[in-house]
Structure 1
Amino acid sequence: MDLKLRPSFFFSFLIFIFLLQKPALVSASSSKCISIERQALLTFKQSLTDPSGRLSSWSGPDCCNWRGVRCDRRTSHVIKIDLRNPNQTVYSDEFKQSCLGGKIDPSLTHLKYLSYLDLSSNEFNGLEIPEFIGHIVSLRYLNLSFSSFSGEVPASLGNLSKLESLDLYAQLWPSFDLRASNLGWLSGLSSSLTYLNMACLNLSGAGENWLQDFTRLSKLKELHLSSCGLKNLPLSLSSTANLKLLEVLDLSENSFSSLIPNWLFDLTSLRELFLQADDLKGSVPSGFKKLKLIETLDLSNNGFTGGIPAVLGGLPQLKYLDLSGNSFQGQIHKFLDAFSKNKGNSLVYLDLNYNKLVGTLPESLGALRNLQILYLASNSFTGSIPSSIGNMTSLKQLDLSYNSMDGEIASSLGKLEELVDLNLMANKWEGVLLKSHFVNLRSLKSFSLTTEPDRSLVFKVPSTWVPPFRLELISIESCQIGPTFPMWLQVQNKLNSVTLRNTRIADKIPHSWFSGIASVVTSLTLENNRIKGTLPQNLVFPNLITIDLSTNNFEGPFPRWKTNAAEIYLYQNNFSGSLPLNLGDLMPRMERIYLFNNSFTGEIPLSLCRVTGLHILNLRNNHFYGSFPNCWRSSSELYGIDASENNISGEIPESLCVLPGLIVLLLNQNALEGNITNTLQNCSSLTHIDLGGNNLTGKLPSWPSKMSDLFMLRLQGNSFEGQIPDDLCIVPSLHILDLSENKITGPIPKCISSLTDIVQGQGFENEQGIVSVITRNSKYQEIDYSINLSGNNITGEIPSEIMDLSYLRILNLSRNSIAGNIPGNISKLGRLEKLDLSRNSFSGAIPQSLAAIYSLHTLNLSFNKLEGTIPKRLKFEDPSIYVGNELLCGKPLPKKCPRY
């Protein structure tokens, strides 16, 4: 029978087919997930800890709608589990709270169709990777990265013959030592794996042939092996090696200590190559010219030497090149010329920081028209910025800092409208900066410029000019901006970091400028200018960490700024008035406060005692009066106090010895009084004590003997009496002893030779640096290894034991009643620089051996009872150092010696 099918038949047939299929689609979309798989997921959930409730949706009948679970739409089988931590801000509280933990239950093996498993960025706290994961043979994607696994990677992973992507990246800190000592299991993945990340995984036990195991992965496109403890980079590969498809290779941060092997240049599919921090050495081979597809090349932080090869400039696809942190030498003209000849050059990022490159920057630099980032810092470039830089219109970041560039700054910089970050600090710039340098820098947010103090770099910008940019960081040093505080600075109200040091500003700064930046600024440095006027009061600086207004002409009261600043430098100004009584509450997190060389008055606020993190308190050379606070029971971190040169009275508070870390106490030149026999006896950590120039009385204290690290003891200019106690001899670390201008009697103790550090030249190398940090004054560095007992009533003779102090540099025994001869073996003090024995009762001849102390440059023997001829080898021509010795004769005295 001959039937003719009408078009309507085909339409009806299609509807019929659709209706047959529709129930399956409805079933899949509404999903009734497979019972055995739902139970497997619930069992898996029960083994986990979930502090943030990420798995709270894992309930009810439809597991396909659970968070992180995906089912096949046709079969309803679970095919994907994605439990990656949703918060990727590592180590933040939110990250830790979102971490899953606990154990991984074998119930996952019941998910026979699971192809995707991601448990990354969680916290399994040293759990070993379960061996049974290697039995989920349907897996194509496995990510266990950054989840604190430890132990040996199970060889069972080699059973995952369908696996295309494997990520085992392990964090370096805290390290749980996830390792792979045998890589043979990788061969089981040879026909499928395209992505492998084993970064930070310990491969040090994999042997010298570790690379051979990876070369069997013939389909591999990405291989990440950074920070794996690898120490051997083979210079050749076997003929069976096959990595021809490799596009990304990361071998960074290992310890190869070798040349770049030639087999790398056979990987002609490479797009990204990371070899930074691998202790590679030698020159960069010309073989890189074979890598025509390379886009990213990182060879930073190695030991490469020689010039930068021009071949790198000829790579047609290169976008990112990092050669920083090496020892490349010579000029970069040929290297940059190669880019200029490479018409299709697409370089976006170039980092040559921290090398040994020299010479001027060539005009060919301007050919890098696509460059966005250019880092040339910490080399030895000289000359000027080439004018061609104005052609680099894509440039966003330019860093030429820490070079020796000594020319002018090209005005063509002003054409770079995309420039965001400009760093020209630490060079030797000269010349003039005009409005044309800045007029088009609409995107500029960070500007750093410093030159040397003996250079002349002057801003000649109209004082009323308003620039197109609003900076977030400005750092200018040793350049002339002033004397006015120009409008282009006044309008910068988004600054979070300000450094204007030695810029010759001698103007008043409007209070509105301070209030305009108060909410955002984190660092405010206006040091070493001539800025005058007052500071605004009662501002709030919520983010401020450092305030440095030192060495200016600010006047008026202390700024009552509420801030969490840690470092406060207001020294060398004309501030006056008393400090706020609630200073410690206004600035509760201060660690260092320097107020010296001002005109502050009043009492020291007790609220300072409540600043628990205070490290250094420097109030030197002001007009503070009243007692020194006796409340230091909470300032456990305070280690340096300098309140010298004030009018502080009363006794030294015993609560200072509650401070466990107090090492420097300088209260000299005040009006302190009382007997200190027991005051500081429990301050065992002190290394520097200066109580000179006060009204202290009583006998010299014995408590220094309890201070095993005492470096300096200065008690000069008081009214101490009695003999020098033998206890002072048992402070072996003592370098500086000054007991001058007191009422001390008796002889110099013979035990003085027990000052071991002065005998042997030992001691703390950093002690003087510590006191300089606390005082911001280097005067203490000039009197190391010194003893000053002048201006007392010491009797007896110089003990022979003092000659054992062979490293002594300064000895002052003047204005005492010491008698006897100057020791004939005084030349044993072979490092002595200053010797003052004036105004005593020394007799006999000046010993010839005194002339053998070649370091001696200051000598005073006046007003004694010395006699005889002045030794000819003593090259001192000032007669005043010998006057008052009637029986002395010879040059430089006018009295000639008789001939016999």
Structure 2
Amino acid sequence: MDYEKRNTRLLSAFLVLVSICILKGGRSAEVIRCKETDRQALLKFKKGLVDEYDVLSSWGSEESKRECCKWRGVGCSNKTGHVISLHLNEEILDRWHALGGNLSDALVDLRHLISLDLSTNDFSDNEIPEFIGSLDKLRYLNLSYCSLKGKVPGQLGNLTNLRALDLGNNYGGLMIQNLDWLSNLSSLFHLDLSSSSFTEGLKTVVFQKILIIKSLKELYLGGCSFPNDTSSVDAYVNSTFASLSVLDLSGLSLTSLAFHWLFNISKSLLSIDLSSNELNGSIPDEFGQKLVSLENLDLSYNEFEGGIPKSFWNLKGLKKLHLSSNNLTGSLPDFVGTMVPLEILDLSDNRITGSVPESFWKASKLEVLYASNNSLEGTISESHLSKLHNLKKLDLNYNSLVFNLTPDWDPPFQLEFLKLASCKMGPRFPIWVRTQSKVSQLDLSSANISDELPEWFWDSLPRLEFLNLSHNQISGRLPDLSSKLSGHPLLDLSFNEFAGLIPSFHPNTTCLYLSNNNFFGSLSFLCKSKYDELGLLDFSNNRLSGQIPNCWENTAVGILDLSNNNFSGEIPDTLGYALLMTLHLFNNSLSGELPSSLKNSGLLEVLDVGSNMLTGNIPAWIGTNLASLVILNIRGNNFFGSIPPELCYLTQIQILDLSRNNLSGRIPLHCFKNFTNFVQKSSTTPYGVLASGYSYPIVYNVVDKVVVQWKGRVFEYSKTLYLLTLIDLSSNRIEGNIPKEIFQMEGLVSLNLSRNHLKGNIDQAIHQMESLECLDVSRNQLSGEIPTGLGTLPFLAFLNLSNNNFSGKIPSGTQLQGFNASLYAGNIGLCGPPLPMCPEDYPDPLSGHNSDENDDDAFMKQSFLKEFYITIVLGFIVGFWGIIGTLLLRKSWRYAYFSFFDRIICT
């Protein structure tokens, strides 16, 4: 369950209990003024805080200098004027992590404090202070999402009036060494220790310590370090969990062995969260047989297989069912659509097939339907959707559904999310979307739409924050969008037919994808506004021109892709002052040197400036300052000079492409052993920026790309890029020997050293390159024999040794004979299949039978000689008599033949 919902629920539950005594500042001030001791305590507490965004500006201001009950987040009693609540969370302050600094013990002077909520701030240098235990009137304490660290103090046991304690989601920073203090909290009904760590000796008795609290109704242990062996709780689940209604055991690595005690915990459970565990097999029928009171069931992110159990029919009160990200198969059961009152259903990321049952569309109370990334099919018409009056979120992305809706259809619902990617919506743009004025997230990508974007679109959806119309054939021009959209927009219009100049965008835009369209002109709009939240900008594969703007210090761009355009001039200096993680400027007309300001880009993982007209030496600071580089591509430029040895510091490098330049000198020695991804076999897990995502307003995957030469051809790698390890130094003027350590790199997939002036030989250590698929050393001056180990490489699929000075016999009995002869051509001394046989392999017709030859060899040679002589004799007979016989038989031929010789003699 996400933070916002959980926090709202928690606040509501507690405020029901204390609402009779907590009043907001304005009302309390009308009855009695705040106490001076409390006001001073609040001011002292504020001094210890870091208030970067000035969210506590009302504290001590002239307008309310003395009336602290009017201060933001402060609540007072209308009878005594004492401060009884202090709520400084995101909901009150309108900003995540608004406050930092220290937690001052001045809070102890707030002796009447009943409710304290400091959640969602950043106190990353703080432990939970022991003085909190002195606030003995506290009933509600929330320190969640505060980045607190250290041990949880036992002094919390002094808070005997506590009803709700939330220390959750400090993400492993809190260590719980002792839980004996919980026995004093006899009134506790809500306990959240999510994402905390228990000491090893405490893990097996966690439940025993918690179950002492008879009043407990809500328990959250999601993400804690927890033992798989849950046998220690068996003796307690029958008696002491009878009152438990909410249980969160998500992210504990539980296996299906946990079910033997789970179904005995409490028959009164209303909500259970088992998401993000290791549960497998079929979903147990016991959920629908023993936990019939369930209102919320979350089994998402597990390994369940099979279908949805029929026993779920018994869950008549079920309101929320989360089954996403499993391996569920089969079709949707008919009863799912008639479960009353079903409000939230999440079936996304499974393998469910077939059409949606008719009864499914009768769930009139359905508010949220997520079924993306399945294999649903069929046609959805207006009649199917006509009864879903309460539908707010609809996500059917990546199915094979067809929407057959009339253009003037008026939906009965007002959606907040609408995601129908890969569903067939076109060819006309769906006009009914115009009625969804509350929608904040809209995804119609790959929807078979080939139409011009309507003029009404941008003004009809004022709350739109996430928009994805990519991979269609939508045309038109974009208006000025600086006042369009809402919040922190993420906009993806890539792979369409939009044209014209690129306009200004909303100043809070976070991600902007406009690649693969027909936009032209410059990017001058970037310098007209401060895009300080712009994290990703992709304008690749358009017709943009002019100079790249020099105002990147106004942005927070981390991923910038301007590749495959017509930009000219130099790379701007201000790019070095952005927060770059990836920089793609491939295939433009950029000139000059790499700006030295890029040495400030310590976060840079991808630097791709290939196929331009850049010049100068390769800067040494690439190796010393850009230690995080995974991809370095400068191919197809005019760089000169030697390869700087400082590149050896790029320990994380995975693709090193310096090809098609004017580099000279030698390959640095004792360097390649530093390249971890080359020396070791690569993992199969995407890394770094290649798998990164932008999380606002939703998770949005960012897959990087790079153009490389592979097996003699040029390819663009993206989704499988993380599997590729490559060194390409081809088409330069590099000389000297190839360092032996290159041939010892077990993790290297592709090595291209062709078209240089390299000498020496291929070292015998090449047999260690077990991951090598592509080797090209053609057009050099390499010599010696081809090592036998080259033929033992299991994945070698492309080899080019042509135009060198190799000699000797190509190792036989290996896969080397399977390559085309042209890949060995130009080596005068090289022989053996697929080239002509070596001289020593030809039979000698004049030699006799050697005494050390075996009988088979002798027999073969004798047979060969016999056939050889017979062929000569037959050839002579056929040739001689073929001519003489013809002259004897045909008079006209004899006459012509002798007349010819007479003419020659006479002349």
Q: TM over 0.5, yes or no?
A: yes
User: Relative to structure 1, is the Cα distance of residues 645 and 364 closer, same or farther in structure 2, using a 3 angstrom cutoff?
Assistant: same
Measured after TM superposition, the shift of residue 496 of structure 1 is: 0.9
Shift of 1:535: 2.6
What secondary structure, in the 3-state scheme, does the structure 2 residue paired with 1:489 have? helix
Give the structure 2 partner of residue 891 of structure 1: 833
1:68 pairs with 2:77? yes
CA contact (8 A) 2:420 2:445 kept: yes
Residue from 695, 709, 729 that aligns with 1:788: 729
How far apart, CA to CA, are the structure 1 residues paired with 2:760 and 2:775?
A: 17
Matched residue, 1:497: 441
User: What is the CA–CA distance in structure 2 between the aligned matches of 1:582 and 1:312, rounded to whole Å?
Assistant: 59
Indicate if the aligned counterparts of 1:181 and 1:205 stay in contact, CA closer than 8 A: no
Is residue 84 of structure 2 the alignment partner of residue 83 of structure 1?
yes
Per-residue CA deviation, residues 675-713 of structure 1 (Å, 9 max, x unaligned), is: 66789798554734433222345x326474585548355
Quote how far apart the aligned CAs of 1:522 are.
Answer: 1.5
- The residue number in structure 1 matching 2:556 is 613
> What is the identity, as a one-letter code, of the residue corresponding to 1:638?
L
Aligned-pair distance for 1:663?
Answer: 4.7
Percentage of matched positions with identical amino acids: 28
* Paired AA for residue 419 in structure 1: L
Which of 361, 379, 387 is the matching residue for 1:414? Answer: 361
2:456 paired residue number: 512
> Is the 8 Å Cα contact of residues 449 and 473 (structure 2) preserved in structure 1?
yes
Once structures 1 and 2 are overlaid, which stretch shifts more, 613-622 or 390-399? 390-399
Read off the aligned partner of 1:167 and give its amino acid letter. R
Question: How far did 1:845 drift?
Answer: 5.2
Question: Residue 667 of structure 1 corresponds to which residue in structure 2?
Answer: 609
Q: Distance in 2 between matches of 1:891 and 1:508?
A: 61
Q: For structure 1, which segment, 616-625 or 682-691, has the greater mean C-alpha deviation from structure 2 after superposition?
A: 682-691
Q: Which amino acid aligns with 1:383?
A: G
Aligned residue type for 2:475: K
Give the whole-Å Cα distance in 2 for the aligned partners of 1:599 and 1:181. 66
Q: Give how far 1:400 is off.
A: 1.7
Query: d(CA) in 2 for partners of 1:58 and 1:802?
Result: 71
Where does residue 6 of structure 1 map in the other structure? Answer: none
Which residues in structure 2 correspond to 1:162-201 (within 5 Å)? 167=139, 169=141, 171=143, 173=146, 174=148, 179-180=153-154, 200=167
Aligned-pair CA distance for 1:495: 1.6
Q: Deviations over 1:95-120 (max 9, x none)?
A: 989x99736569x8xxxxxxxx5443
> Do the aligned partners of residues 507 and 826 (structure 1) sit closer, same or farther apart at CA in structure 2, a change above 3 Å counting?
same
Cα distance, 1:332 vs structure 2: 5.4
Partner of 1:77: none
Residue of structure 1 equivalent to 2:801: 861
Change (3 A) 1:232 1:278: farther
Compute the displacement of 1:587 (Å): 3.8
Match of 1:600 among 524, 532, 544: 544
Match of 2:776 in 1: 836
Q: Given residue 647 of structure 1, which amino acid in structure 2 is its aligned partner?
A: S
Paired amino acid for 1:665: L
CA change 1:729–1:893 in 2 (3 A) is: closer
Q: How far apart are residue 499 of structure 1 and its match?
A: 1.9
- The answer to whether the Cα contact below 8 Å between 2:673 and 2:679 also exists between their aligned partners in 1 is no
Confirm or deny: 8 A CA contact 1:170 1:200 kept in the other structure: yes
Alpha-carbon shift at residue 443 of structure 1 (Å): 1.8
> Given that residues 618 and 775 in structure 1 are in contact (C-alpha distance below 8 angstroms), is that contact kept between their aligned partners in structure 2?
no
Q: Is the 8 A contact 2:501 2:519 kept in 1?
A: yes
SS in 2 for 1:529: coil
In the other structure, the counterpart of 1:752 is: none
Of 238, 251, 257, the match for 1:265: 238
Match of 1:717 among 648, 656, 660: 660
My pick for the range that moved more, 438-447 or 885-894, is 885-894
CA distance change for structure 1 residues 875 and 359 in 2, over 3 Å: closer, same or farther? same
- Segments of 5+ residues of structure 2 without an aligned counterpart are 1-31, 47-58, 70-74, 120-125, 169-173, 693-701, 707-715, 845-907
For residue 531 of structure 1, report the CA deviation from its aligned partner.
Answer: 2.4
Show the counterpart of 1:431: 378
AA aligned opposite 2:662: S
- Structure 2 counterparts to residues 356-755 of structure 1, below 5 A: 356-361=303-308, 365=312, 368-451=315-398, 456-517=400-461, 519-540=462-483, 541-583=485-527, 585=529, 587-607=531-551, 609-632=552-575, 635-674=577-616, 685=627, 687=629, 688-697=631-640, 699-700=641-642, 702=644, 704=646, 707=649, 709=651, 711=653, 713-721=656-664, 723-724=665-666, 728-729=668-669, 731-732=671-672
* Larger proportion of helix: 2
Alignment partners' CA distance in 2, 1:797 and 1:333: 66
Question: Where do 1:92-103 residues align within 5 Å?
Answer: 92=93, 102=106
Residues 414/487 of structure 1: CA separation in 2 closer, same or farther (3 Å cut): farther
8 Å CA contact 1:69, 1:82 repeated in 2: no
Give CA deviations for 1:854-889 in whole Å, capped at 9, x if unaligned. Answer: 443323333445555443223325222233445554
- The equivalent of 1:872 in structure 2 is 812
Q: Is the 8 A contact 1:367 1:391 kept in 2?
A: no
Matched AA of 1:778: Y
Mapped contact 2:661–2:731 kept (Cα < 8 A): no
Distance 1:361 1:495 in 2: 31
* Cα deviation, residue 543, structure 1: 1.8
Q: Alpha carbons of 1:703 and 1:175: their partners in 2 closer, same or farther (altered >3 Å)? A: closer
Give the CA deviation at 1:505: 1.9
CA drift of 1:850 comes to 4.0
Q: 2:258 aligns with which of 296, 300, 304?
A: 304
* Structure 1 residues 267 and 460, CA gap change in structure 2 (3 angstroms): same
Pick one of 117, 120, 125 that aligns with 2:115. 120
Counterparts in 2 of 1:758 and 1:271: CA distance versus 1, 3 Å = closer
- Name the counterpart of 1:150: 130
Structure 1 residues 641 and 703 mapped into 2: Cα distance closer, same or farther (>3 Å)?
A: farther
Quick check: 843-852 or 636-645, which moved more?
Answer: 843-852
Deviation at 1:619, TM superposition (A): 0.7
In the alignment, which residue of structure 2 is the partner of 1:128? none
Q: State how far apart, in whole Å, the 1-side matches of 2:836 and 2:590 are.
A: 50
Q: 1:585 to 1:881 in 2, by over 3 A?
A: same
1:511–1:816 Cα change, 3 Å: same
Q: Which region of structure 1 is more displaced relative to structure 2, 395-404 or 776-785?
A: 776-785
Map 1:768-783 → 2, pairs under 5 A: 769=690, 773-775=703-705, 778=717
CA RMSD of aligned residues (A): 5.0
C-alpha separation in 2, matches of 1:222 and 1:485 = 55
Is the CA contact 1:305–1:329 (under 8 Å) kept in the aligned structure 2?
no
Q: CA deviation at 1:614?
A: 1.8
CA gap 1:591/1:82 in 2 versus in 1, 3 angstroms: closer
Deviation at 1:620, TM superposition (A): 0.6
Partner SS state of residue 412, structure 2: coil
Deviation (angstroms), 1:438: 0.8
Query: CA 1:501–1:841 in 2, change beyond 3 Å: closer, same or farther?
Result: same
- Is the contact made by 1:708 and 1:731 (CA closer than 8 Å) also made in structure 2? no
Shift of the alpha carbon at 1:588? 4.4
Alpha-carbon separation, structure 1, partners of 2:306 and 2:241 = 34
Whether the 8 Å contact between 2:151 and 2:175 is mirrored in structure 1 is no
Matched letter for residue 727 of structure 2 = S
For 2:822, what is the secondary structure of its paired residue?
helix
Letter of the structure 2 residue corresponding to residue 856 of structure 1: L
Residues in 1 aligned to 2:350 and 2:242: alpha-carbon distance in whole angstroms: 38
Distance in 2, matches of 1:508 and 1:516, equals 16
- Structure 1 residues not aligned, in runs of 5+: 1-37, 60-65, 72-79, 109-116, 125-145, 158-164, 284-302, 736-755
2:118 touches 2:142 (CA, 8 Å); kept in 1? no
Answer yes or no: is the 8 Å Cα contact 1:363–1:387 preserved in 2.
no
- Over 3 Å counting, the alpha-carbon distance change for 1:866 and 1:700 in structure 2 is closer
Q: 1:826-847 CA deviation, whole Å, 9 max, x = no partner?
A: 5465654433344455566545
- 1:531-575 per-position Cα deviation (integer Å, ceiling 9, x unaligned): 233333345234243111122232232233233112111112222
Q: How far apart, CA to CA, are the structure 2 residues paired with 1:203 and 1:716?
A: 52
